[in-house]
């Protein structure tokens, strides 16, 4: 279980996260929606300390961490048990698909090279890239690169995977294959937080949808509650804007 309470983060005078609290049960898939600039990426980055929140606490499994005073071993604990899937894949350009997946296994989890290679190959097979071990990112399509990004995340057997708009950099015809893969990951029972504009994916896969605006959680609920019966005017406005962009978002 992951519970964040009172998370605040400013960049200079700009208060990006004003007081964000959410609770995610083990195995739950939580979709985070919100307009550009509402703080979604910053929030995900704060969870695994890619960004340091100014205030707030996080219960991560049996550990409670205060962001203000987080110690090195607490940060490492979260990093060892979480993984991030980036919008722009975040792969090392000078490493092959296999080496990209091995990196966290050897560097963060301190596995032997042989063991890391075995796990990395099995995971690349699982995401459908058994014939691409030795390809560099520049030799892979966007969809294939993101599948490497997802393989790199699940190879770590994390307790939680944080997905930040995993399909928004893809050509439309590649979005479906990556969403299908993310659904497969959800079925494995891994806890997931997913920032996405893919409404039909959210409706299919999410246990809970959170709508953020201007650094706060405006509303949260089951997909049907949020999509069919949003309580808050701001949620309604956001959804109607997204739906009017329907062709773009493949709903």
Ligand X SMILES: Nc1ncnc2c1ncn2[C@@H]1O[C@H](COP(=O)(O)OP(=O)(O)OP(=O)(O)O)[C@@H](O)[C@H]1O
Which of ligand X, Mg ion, none sits in contact with 166, Cβ below 5 to 8 A by type?
none
Structure-token pair, residue 213: 């605006």
**Structure tokens that stand for 135 in this block:** 């390809």
By the 10 Å C-beta count (0-12 exposed, 13-18 middle, 19+ buried), 241 is classed as exposed
Q: Binding of ligand X at residue 61 (CB under 6 A)?
A: no
Total binding residues for ligand X by CB under 6 A?
A: 10
Other C-beta atoms lying within 10 Å of the C-beta of residue 65: 19
| Contact status: 167 vs Mg ion (CB under 5 A) | no
- State how far the Cα of 225 lies from the Cα of 228, in Å rounded to an integer: 6
User: What's the min distance (Å) between Cβ of 153 and ligand X?
Assistant: 19
CB of 241 to ligand X, least distance (A): 13
Pick 109 or 168: Cβ nearer ligand X: 168
Burial class (CB in 10 A: 0-12, 13-18, 19+), 75: middle
**Smallest gap from residue 19 Cβ to ligand X (A):** 15
**Rounded Cα distance, 85 and 13, in Å:** 29
Kindly state the smallest distance separating residue 178's Cβ from ligand X, in Å: 17
| Site for ligand X contains 167 (CB under 6 A) | no
Residue closer to ligand X (CB basis): 46 or 154 = 46
Q: Using CB under 5 A, which of 29, 34, 39, 41 touches Mg ion?
A: 41
Residue 16 touching ligand X (CB under 6 A): yes
Shortest Å, Cβ 63 to Mg ion? 27
Binding site partner of 147, from Mg ion, ligand X, none, Cβ cut-off 5-8 A by kind? none
9 three-class SS:
strand
Closer Cβ to ligand X, 8 or 40, answer by number: 40
Say which DSSP state 30 is in. E
Judged on CB neighbours under 10 Å (0-12, 13-18, 19+), 6 is middle
Interface segment toward Mg ion; rule CB under 5 A; list 33-41, 112-120, 150-158, 183-191: 33-41
Question: Looking at 7-15, 35-43, 92-100, 147-155, which segment touches Mg ion (CB under 5 A)?
Answer: 35-43
Nearer of residues 34 and 137 to ligand X, judged by Cβ:
34
Q: Which residues between 20 and 49 bind ligand X (CB under 6 A)?
A: 34, 36-42
Judge contact between 111 and 119, C-beta under 8 A. Answer: yes
Q: What gap in Å lies between CA 2 and CA 213, rounded to an integer? A: 21
For residues 185 and 150, the answer to whether their CB atoms sit within 8 Å is yes
Residues that bind ligand X (CB under 6 A): 11, 16, 34, 36-42
């Amino acid at each position: 279980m992951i519970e964040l309470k009172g998370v605040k983060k400013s960049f200079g005078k700009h208060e990006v996260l004003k007081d964000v609290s959410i609770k995610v049960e083990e195995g739950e898939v939580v979709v985070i929606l919100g307009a550009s600039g509402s703080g979604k990426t910053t929030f995900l980055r704060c969870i695994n300390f890619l960004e340091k929140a100014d205030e707030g606490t996080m219960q991560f499994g049996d550990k409670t961490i205060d962001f203000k005073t987080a110690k090195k071993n607490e940060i490492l604990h979260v990093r060892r048990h979480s993984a991030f899937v980036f919008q722009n894949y975040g792969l090392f350009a000078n490493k092959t698909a296999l080496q990209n997946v091995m990196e966290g296994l050897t560097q963060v989890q301190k596995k032997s090279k042989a063991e890391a290679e075995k796990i990395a190959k099995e995971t690349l097979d699982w995401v459908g890239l058994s014939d691409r071990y030795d390809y560099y990112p520049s030799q892979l399509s966007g969809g294939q690169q993101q599948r490497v990004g997802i393989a790199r995340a699940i190879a770590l057997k994390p307790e939680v995977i944080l997905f930040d708009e995993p399909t928004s950099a893809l050509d439309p015809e590649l979005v479906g294959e990556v969403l299908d893969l993310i659904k497969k990951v959800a079925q494995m029972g891994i806890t997931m937080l997913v920032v996405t504009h893919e409404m039909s994916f959210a409706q299919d896969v999410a246990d809970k949808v959170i709508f953020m605006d201007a650094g706060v959680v405006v509303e949260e609920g089951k997909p049907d509650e949020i999509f069919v019966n949003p309580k808050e005017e701001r949620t309604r406005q956001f959804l109607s804007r997204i739906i009017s962009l329907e062709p773009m978002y493949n709903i």
